[in-house]
Amino acid sequence: MKRFLIRKVAVLGAGVMGAQIAAHLVNVRVPVLLFDLPDAKGADKNGIVTRAVAQLRKMKPAPLGLADEAELIEAANYEQHLHRLAECDLVIEAIAERLDWKRDLYLKIAPHVAAHAIVASNTSGLSITKMSEALPEAVRPRFCGIHFFNPPRYMTLVELI
């Protein structure tokens, strides 16, 4: 069996779970691109992600082993940075539990995902098969569920689907 090396991860969705999954990854020194919608309220289009990363430093219990490791989380948005998905070995979607939103996001990201990358959802209840239908045939065999329990740093369980 060939070993799969994960050098960089993209986490799609900077909400509570997405941001904490990103923190969990940087705790083991894996660089992360944390994506969310472009911020329409300010000049910084990465404002949503920037605020989510700042919040990680304040949360209790702490999702970060060392607060300074938040710097390993790089902010990105779906409007400007989709091409950066090609740098990632693993892409974890962690947006709201709505099949229509997830499928729309998969259609948007699919052309930018590296040919070797694993694409996963952090879903806790939606059908992996139904979600995969939005992906091109070439990506489907590399799609799975990776469900982290909240809070990821303290729950010693991850469900693989």
Residues designated catalytic:
147
How many CB atoms within 10 Å of residue 41? Answer: 7
Question: What is the rounded distance in angstroms from the CA atom of residue 79 to the CA atom of residue 154?
Answer: 33
DSSP letter for each residue of the chain: -PPPP---EEEE--SHHHHHHHHHHHHTT--EEEEE---SSSS-TTHHHHHHHHHHTT-SS-S-SSGGGGGGEEEEETTT-GGGGGG-SEEEE---S-HHHHHHHHHHHGGGS-TT-EEEE--SSS-HHHHHTTS-TTTGGGEEEEEEPSSTTT---EEE-
